[in-house]
Amino acid sequence: MTLAVIIGYLLVVLVIGLFSHRFFRGTSEDFFVAARTLGPFILLISLFGANMTAFALLGSSGEAYMEGIGVFALMASSSGLVIPVVFYFIGTRIWALGKRRGYLTPVQFFRERWGSDNLGLLLFVVQVGLLIPYLLIGVMGGGSTLTQVTGGQVPDWVGGLVISAVVLTYVTYGGMRGTVWVNVFQTVILLALGFIAFWVIIDKLGGLSAAMARLAETHPDMLVRGDHIKPLQLLTYTCIPLSVGMFPHMFIHWLTAKNAASFRPVIAFYPVCIAIVWVPSVLLGVLAHLDFPGLNAGAAGSVLVKMISLHAPGLLAGLLAAGVFAAIMNSFDSQVHAVGTMFTQDIVRHYGFHDRMGEKTQILVGRLFMVGILIATYVLSRFVDRSIFKLGVWCFTGFAALFPVVVAAVFWKRSTKWGAFASTVSVIVLWIWFVSQGWKTGSTTIGESGVMPVAVMLLVSTAAMIVGSLATRPPEAATLDKFFPKAER
Amino acid sequence: MKRSVRTGLLYLALVALYLLHNDLWLWNDPGLVLGLPAGLAYHVGFCIATSIVLTLLVLHAWPSHLDREAGTTREETR
């Protein structure tokens, strides 16, 4: 039954992705940014879906199992505030610049904003480099989830292969439109299944009040933050969601909007969407102590699957697996599309064709790169150690620490390419240092103080941007005219 | 009320929300509110409050100049 539900779900995803091709206009702008036509509802669902990884379902419940209800404040409500604020101040302006100047990737924007090919190349390497662990995690997470929910019937390598094949089909055939259509379907599935799983399990546990009363007796520390989370950690963790400002796949998604007004519902409803997905996951994570006490961190990662298997096997287990696949593929497809778009536009088109490349050639090269990236990711996932999952957390830190680059590009007329270079290099150096330290100690905060490394990296990269810019020659008026319309100056 | 004042007040509301996110006073509160642990119920309410402030922001402090700017003819630079 479980396997039948999953196969049925994947077939529906394929059909939606392939059907979207009927609306394909045959232009590179359509293939890479859906011809900038997405309206408010589609933009809300697709942006939310692209930013929700499998972590929102499986990881959050596992974290809540280990750390208690404080995980919601730490990771969810902070994102509910910071991410839409970034959309409001940065996303809308990037969309306007992208539409006016025809950008398809973040590197095109940064390269032209500061008139530097080398800076564009550096940012390309950093952004793609930080995205690779996510691609691997998507394939590996899909494989292990399928194995778990089918009780070992389906081997690990099959799940990863299936995810890669399905995503390859609709991303390369449907381009951004296919990706967005599937994202919308999958996000609705994700939101609905989170609620369904929650109510079925809570019902089996005798209702929310009864379950909470039992948990208060046996594991009272799960209902408070206590020593699980430090106040400084809560404060500095709010820097992490700034990563959304430098994620290439989010940047490219911003460019798909039909108009600035399309961002309005995205900004207004994003916090509620976050709560809808995270509250059930966090509650099920802490309540899992009633049925599965004493799990270690590794086993806690699949605690939601264990709860489903215990309380609602069969159909619901299949639906949950579909929800997890939805979460994985939602972000995975956008990331594959983004990396393929960047290789096509920022490397092949810019360096190979000196920005003169036919529409059909761009689409063909984009498709080839997307296929190549998926094959390479799948093959790599068969050899890479599972400790790469730990690196995923650090990648958020890297993207977030680059936030001053996009802020300066959009708002600070006096910023220069040297400031951007200094800021980016500071992030690279500090990221390598903090990751190597964190890898040794296993800690994600500085000296167990609660201060997240991202806060320090942000301060340093901001200082580097300011000092590097002020110490060098101001940008030319002609450049400023392109990016800051006179009405605004 | 002038638009600039409204915008300023809404930006201040965002800063206030950021500060209110750090609910130190509920850190060790084991009580239940509407069936949820107090620390979780507070942050669910926080998400709803954030949504309300952001709704006001997009209604009363929207950067309407962006659509005009984006509507200008795209410069064929490539």
pLDDT tens-place string over residues A274-318: 999 899 989 999 999 999 998 887 788 778 888 887 887 677 777
Average pLDDT over residues A136-153: 79
List of residues 6+ apart from A489 with CB closer than 8 A:
A413, A480
For residue A487, the model assigns a pLDDT of 56
Confidence of residue A429 (pLDDT cuts 50, 70, 90): very high
The two counts, helices (H) then strands (E), for chain A are: 23, 0
Can you name the residues that pair with B32 across neighbouring β-strands?
Answer: B37
Phi/psi for B37 (5° steps) reads -55, 140
For residue A461, the model assigns a pLDDT of 98
pLDDT tens track for A385-423: 766 666 777 889 999 999 999 999 999 999 999 999 999
| pLDDT: which is higher, A22 or A350 | A350
Residues of B in contact with A259 (CB under 8 A): 67, 70
DSSP A153: S
Residues A21 and A173: their CA atoms lie apart, in Å, by 7
For chains A and B, what is the number of CB pairs under 8 angstroms?
146
For residue B33, the model assigns a pLDDT of 92
Average pLDDT over residues A346-360: 86
3-class secondary structure, B33: strand
Count Cβ atoms within 10 A of the Cβ of residue A60 and give its class: 0-12 exposed, 13-18 middle, 19 or more buried.
buried
| pLDDT: which is higher, A339 or A198 | A339
What residue type is assigned to position B31 of the chain? Answer: G
Average pLDDT over residues A465-469: 98
Count Cβ atoms within 10 A of the Cβ of residue A436 and give its class: 0-12 exposed, 13-18 middle, 19 or more buried.
exposed
232-251 of A, contacting B, C-beta below 8 A: 234-235, 238
Task: Kindly report the nearest CA distance between residue B12 and chain A, in angstroms.
Answer: 13
Residues B28 and B46: their CA atoms lie apart, in Å, by 18
Residues A311 and A316: their CA atoms lie apart, in Å, by 9
Can you name the residues that pair with B33 across neighbouring β-strands?
Answer: B36
String of DSSP letters for A177-196: HHHHHHHHHHHHHHHHHHHH
Confidence of residue A489 (pLDDT cuts 50, 70, 90): very low
Task: Kindly report the nearest CA distance between residue A95 and chain B, in angstroms.
Answer: 8
Contact call for residues A134 and A398 (beta carbons, < 8 A): no
Average pLDDT over residues A333-353: 91
Any B CB within 8 A of A93 CB: yes
Please name each of the domains of chain A with its CATH number: 2-389 (1.20.1730.10)
Residues B6 and B11: their CA atoms lie apart, in Å, by 9
Of A214-223, A267-276, A414-423, B68-77, the least confident: B68-77
Residue written as token pair 């609660």: A450
- The angle, 0 to 180 degrees and rounded to 10, between the axes of the packed helices A2-19 and A117-149 is 150
Can you name the residues that pair with B42 across neighbouring β-strands?
Answer: none
Residues A89 and A20: their CA atoms lie apart, in Å, by 31
Task: Kindly report the nearest CA distance between residue B44 and chain A, in angstroms.
Answer: 6
Residues A261 and A474: their CA atoms lie apart, in Å, by 33
pLDDT tens track for B9-50: 999 999 999 999 999 999 999 898 998 999 999 999 999 999
| pLDDT: which is higher, A369 or A439 | A369
How many CB atoms sit inside 10 A of residue A90's CB? 23
| Cα separation of the two ends of chain B | 45
Quick one: which of A335, A336, A312 has its CA closest to A323? A312
Category of A206 on φ-ψ map: left (φ > 0), alpha (ψ -120 to 50) or beta: left
For residue A311, the model assigns a pLDDT of 84
Which of A43, A203, A225, A356 is the mutation pick for testing B, counting most B CBs within 10 A? Answer: A225
Confidence of residue B78 (pLDDT cuts 50, 70, 90): very low
* Mean per-residue pLDDT of chain A: 89
Q: Is B57 in contact with A81 (Cβ distance < 8 A)?
A: no
Any B CB within 8 A of A64 CB: no
Q: Which two tokens stand for residue A344?
A: 């096509």
Residues B43 and A400: their CA atoms lie apart, in Å, by 23
For residue B77, the model assigns a pLDDT of 34
List of residues 6+ apart from A361 with CB closer than 8 A:
A353
pLDDT tens track for A4-37: 888 888 899 899 988 888 888 878 888 888 888 8
Antiparallel, parallel or unpaired: β B32-33 and B36-37: antiparallel
Q: Is B54 in contact with A267 (Cβ distance < 8 A)?
A: yes
For residue B75, the model assigns a pLDDT of 45
Of A85-89, A180-184, A483-487, B22-26, the least confident: A483-487
Average pLDDT over residues A444-471: 93
43-72 of B, contacting A, C-beta below 8 A: 43-44, 46-48, 50-51, 54-55, 57-58, 62-67, 69-70, 72
Phi/psi for A301 (5° steps) reads -60, -25
How many CB atoms sit inside 10 A of residue A477's CB? 8
